[in-house]
Structure 1
Amino acid sequence: MANTLVRSPPRVIRRIVHGQPVSDGAGVRLNRIIGQRDFDMLDPFLLLDEFRSNRPGDYLAGFPEHPHRGFETVTYLLAGRIRHGDDQGHSGVLEPGGVQWMTAGRGIVHSEMPEAEDGLLWGFQLWVNLPAGEKMGEPRYQDIAPERIPLVQVARGVEVRVIAGAFGNLVGPIRSAATAPVFFDIALDPRARVNVPLPSTHSAFVYVYEGGAAFGPGAETQVLLHGELGVLGEGDRVPVASGDTPARVLVVAGKPLREPVSKYGPFVMNTPEQIVEAIRDLQSGSFSRR
């Protein structure tokens, strides 16, 4: 008998999470979805914030110089401009549609400051954990301009920006071997549907940031509205469908590390002792130097 390919069942939503309004940096107002009191993390994801405001007072103070160690930060900008710089001499401007994937490694001190004095500032920041063997590695950046991110119509009324991972033959520009991340931004016209491929080995979530969308197969379908995150169960794909209005959805997945996590503000290590070491290094001036 010939071998047949056995597919995993479609993923369904196992938990729905609502964000909490917080203030971070020098007073930037955010909606925190991962990293809050009721939803601390989804291995390997440590934090997900959405920032969206056309009121300058909500964002102009930005994120002045602050340290990171032991994880990666991902900033995906939809509207506005953010200037970033660090103590290693790296600087640049993040434009709408662009992505900055920063691997903090052993340590970096950087700033993220909005450039516009008015208008809409809108985007996301995601924190991705690093395995123990890479937490003290060299810091590095992947600055991805909008034109480098593949945009493709994958079904009638469905466009996907492939930021990381693979959607069919399209592969996103981001590379991070430790967690093999998947990061899709999906736009659906009214009454559109698509099956989104996901590695069966990965933790995964969906986040609706415009309109509403249904996820999962048949009787197990659940609808998420704007600002809701759905934690997905196991499987190799997730069915997504819009209703009577357009929808925008993030689909994110990563290989879980299954390691101890010790967090303190901008430091994410494996033990409390390593957190103490990070604080001492910052105080002594040796934080981002070998």
Structure 2
Amino acid sequence: MWTNIGCGERVDLNEGLWLSRLLPASDGGVPPLDPLLLIDDIQMNRYGFPSHVHSGFEKLTLTLEGRVQHTDETGRDEILSAGDVHYLFAGTGFVHAELPVSQCRVIQMWFNIPFNTRDYSGFAKTYRRPLYLTHKTDWGSLLEIAGPSAPIQLVCAASVSIWEMKPRAMAEPSCQGMGLAYLLHGEVSTPQGVARSGQCLTVGSAHSRSGKIHAGDEGCVFLWVTGQPLKEPVSMLGGHVIKIT
């Protein structure tokens, strides 16, 4: 199942603001992990992202540590803490800002949206940590963030969850389409090798697949993202995703 084990590319944006970019920007073709366009692990201290505009995609921002202020063109002004998720549907265009209240870490995921939804107006919504369901299993627990039975329903029908595995436990994630596992803590072993914190395992198959992973001696926590491909070529220009015809 697992096709690749990779590390993100560190990008320094400003003093106290840097990120690990796990996927290269799509430039005129179908994204390699369609419909996932981008996933960034962002560390913010004094600097964040002042008011800016997005269009042509939808975005999830998961706060892992610290507190983040989200404001937007509608007058919304909210503080998100660890476990909270900010959802943004950019559509025809939406202006917002993300600024650290304290030193913080967030995971940002961009997803392509179907061509027939690009003319919809943009909007944003906050989902607080208590909304999410945690499922207990033999190997640990699974927290559903986005998906068919989760609080957040993405337009592109992708799913996002956090898996926490016990030490030396075995699990078997499955997907139809693409899949990406990003290690937040600990390490896992697969037939293709070992992935450690800060690395990701990817699946690019268009068929239903499953693969075994074994947690290390300290257990592990990883973000699991899956989705059915839209097969629509796009180009990413700054904060905009443009459909290529």
TM-score normalised by L of structure 1: 0.76
Q: Is the contact between residue 35 and residue 48 of structure 1 (CA under 8 Å) also seen in structure 2?
A: no
- Secondary structure of the residue aligned to 1:211 is strand
In structure 1, distance between residues paired with 2:16 and 2:58: 22
- Aligned-partner SS, 2:34: coil
Q: Pick one of 25, 28, 38 that aligns with 1:47.
A: 38
Question: Which position in structure 2 is the counterpart of 1:132?
Answer: 115
Structure-1 separation of matches of 2:96 and 2:117: 20
2:162 matched residue in structure 1: 185
Match of 1:172 among 150, 158, 164: 150
Q: Whose helix proportion is higher, 1 or 2?
A: 1
- Please say if 1:249 is aligned against 2:222: yes
CA distance in 2, matches of 1:106, 1:25: 29
Deviation at 1:264, TM superposition (A): 0.7
- Output the CA distance in 2 between the equivalents of 1:137 and 1:25: 33
Amino acid at match of 2:11: V
Q: Which has the larger radius of gyration?
A: 1
Q: Please tell me whether the aligned partners of residues 62 and 114 of structure 1 are also in contact (alpha carbons under 8 angstroms).
A: yes
CA distance in 1, matches of 2:25, 2:235: 15
Between the aligned residues of both structures, percent identity stands at 28
Question: Partners in 2 of 1:106 and 1:27 — Cα distance?
Answer: 32
Structure-1 separation of matches of 2:181 and 2:224: 5
Cα 1:266–1:165, aligned 2, differ >3 Å: closer, same or farther?
A: same
**Separation (CA, whole Å) in 2 of partners of 1:180 and 1:186:** 19
Q: In structure 1, which of residues 19, 25, 44 is the aligned counterpart of residue 8 of structure 2?
A: 19
Query: Which residue is equivalent to 1:150?
Result: 133
Label 1:27 to 1:135 Cα distance change in 2 as closer, same or farther (>3 A).
farther
Cα deviation, residue 51, structure 1: 2.1
Which of 86, 107, 117 is the matching residue for 2:93? 107
Aligned to 2:183: 208
Query: What is the Cα-based RMSD across aligned positions, in Å?
Result: 2.1
- Deviations 1:149-200, CA, capped at 9 Å, x for gaps: 11121224x111111225xxxx2111123x21111111112111222343x2
How far does the alpha carbon of each residue in 1:214-241 deviate from its partner, in whole angstroms, 9 at most, with x for none?
24xxxx4532111111111443433232
- Cα deviation 1:116-159 (Å, max 9, x = unaligned): 2xxx5122001111121112211122311000011121224x11
Per the alignment, in what secondary structure is the counterpart of residue 13 of structure 1?
A: coil
Do residues 258 (structure 1) and 236 (structure 2) align? no
- Tell me if the contact between 1:160 and 1:186 (Cα under 8 Å) persists in the aligned partners: yes
**Structure 2 unaligned residues grouped into runs of 5+:** none
Task: Decide whether aligned partners of structure 1 residues 69 and 259 sit closer, same or farther in structure 2, where only a CA change above 3 A counts.
Answer: same
Q: Retained in 2: the 8 A contact 1:164–1:182? A: yes
Deviation at 1:41, TM superposition (A): 4.7
- TM-aligned CA distance change 1:132 to 1:25, over 3 Å: farther
Residue 230 (structure 1) aligns with: 201
